[in-house]
Amino acid sequence: MSSARELAADLVNQVLLDGRSLTAALEAVPPGGDPRRRADAQDLCYGVLRHLGRLRFYLRRLTGRPVSPAELAGPLLVALYELAERDTPAYAAVNEAVDLVGRRHPRARGFVNGVLRNFPRQRSQLEAAAGADLEACWNFPDWWIEKLRGHYPDTWQAQLTAMNGHPPMTLRVNRRRTTRERYQALLDEAGLGWRQSGDWALTLAAPVRVTDLPGFADGLASVQDLGAQLAVPLLQCDNGMHVLDACAAPGGKTAHLLECHELDLLALDREAARLTRVTDNLRRLGLTAAVMAADAGAPAAWWDGRPFDRILLDAPCTASGVARRHPDGKWLKRLDDVHELAGQQARLLDAVWPLLRQGGKLLYATCSLFPEENGQQVEAFLVRHQDARLDTINLPDAPDGQLRPDSDHDGFFYARIVKT
């Protein structure tokens, strides 16, 4: 575990000090070596970031001053996580943190040793004090908690509790290559517990590596949250339609559309590097689409003038509904980002709307819980476009199109708009 702890400390510092996403930091880890090192480090990072509000509270109380040099935060937070949330023996967590710091900052050895050895002595007092601190209690930034509490006065606590847990691992069976019943049998043979959670969706009893999923490399199934799987039926496509997936990467919804229908589909994304995931997914699943790197908000540069029958706009957002899958996001986002992203969303909606034929349908989707990105965004769009009509969406427990995160799915928003 020693090398895993060192890697985890470096990754945590990249997120908290450099503002880098954990996904990007993990992808930059050089390949090779013991695969367990990367897996253990990833597990430690997710744990630290899920509990960061409380861990940083402990660290402030134990030090009484900002940590200096700032790079000490990584090893201290990893060690505190192990002591507070995993009950790792002190000799393992503390000694290795001190050794790691000693190699890089020898003069800080005594400081780190004193901080970590004080935690068990003060644990009960620290835990009691943390319960009275909003960020430490809920492990979310104060502004995030206040927004949820304001918009969801009856459910904000349940939502935060759900987002502090581990997400379910839900699969989407590729109907082009197998049936749900056959894939269920493969899961049984592999000794993997499951439950049916949708027509083509199966939720595993416990997460596993994708390489351990039967037939994954052969395209028999994909990993996709149950809430995300609602996009395709809500778009209401028919075979032969001309369809735009305006912000396609990493391609889960693109592939799902093509698994369900024979479509003339254009998968668009402004970041060419992210489209690699789209083409890789389509190749694995045996599917075909036109894939283009372009900005959906500037159609003059790429649109051929042929109207689309359907448009899926899975807009960039704060990802506030998927924080349990990406716990770094809640610490990297700022309140100003909500308003900045709302501006981007409005720009994209206005840009792609003229590309839709009369009678066509646009599905606006986000993985956000904030109304500025969701219901309020759609209301403002309808005011700007008199030829737009909001269609009724019948979702259990979400008549307004807003799915709250729970034990079955993450948080998503959907609105289907018809061109009259």
What's the pLDDT tens digit per position in 286-333? 999 999 999 999 999 999 999 999 999 999 999 999 999 999 999 999
* Separation between Cα atoms, residue 165 and residue 324, nearest integer Å: 6
pLDDT band at 14 (very low <50, low <70, confident <90, very high): very high
Calculate the CA dihedral of residues 212, 215, 217, 221 and round it to 10 degrees. Answer: -100
Alpha-carbon torsion (103, 108, 113, 116), positive or negative: negative
Question: Would you place residue 65 in the very low, low, confident or very high pLDDT band (cuts 50, 70, 90)?
Answer: confident
Six-digit token pair at 248? 């396609």
Q: Is the pLDDT of residue 358 over 60?
A: yes
Q: Which two tokens stand for residue 391?
A: 């269609």
Answer yes or no: is pLDDT of 2 > 70: no
CA distance 380 to 382: 5
Closest by Cα among 333, 308, 311, 337 to 322: 333
Examine the pLDDT at 1 and tell me if it is beyond 60: no
Lowest mean pLDDT, pick from 27-41, 65-79, 154-168, 212-226: 27-41
Per-residue pLDDT band for 390 (boundaries 50, 70, 90) equals very high
CB 382 within 8 A of CB 350: no
pLDDT tens for each residue of 133-185: 999 999 999 999 999 999 999 999 999 999 999 999 999 999 999 999 999 99
Q: Which two tokens stand for residue 370?
A: 């904030």
CA proximity to 80, closest of 106, 51, 107, 104: 51
**pLDDT the model gives residue 399:** 82
**Model pLDDT, residue 260:** 98
Query: 284 pLDDT exceeds 90?
Result: yes
Q: Quick one: pLDDT at residue 394?
A: 84
* Residue 218 pLDDT: 97
Q: Is 317 a catalytic residue?
A: no
Q: What is the pLDDT of residue 226?
A: 97
Mean pLDDT of the region 326-351: 97
For the stretch 200-224, pLDDT in tens is 999 999 999 999 999 999 999 999 9
Query: Residues of 86-112 as b/e, b for ≥16 C-beta within 10 angstroms?
Result: eebeeeebbebbbebbeeebeebbebb
Q: How far apart are CA 275 and CA 228, in angstroms?
A: 19
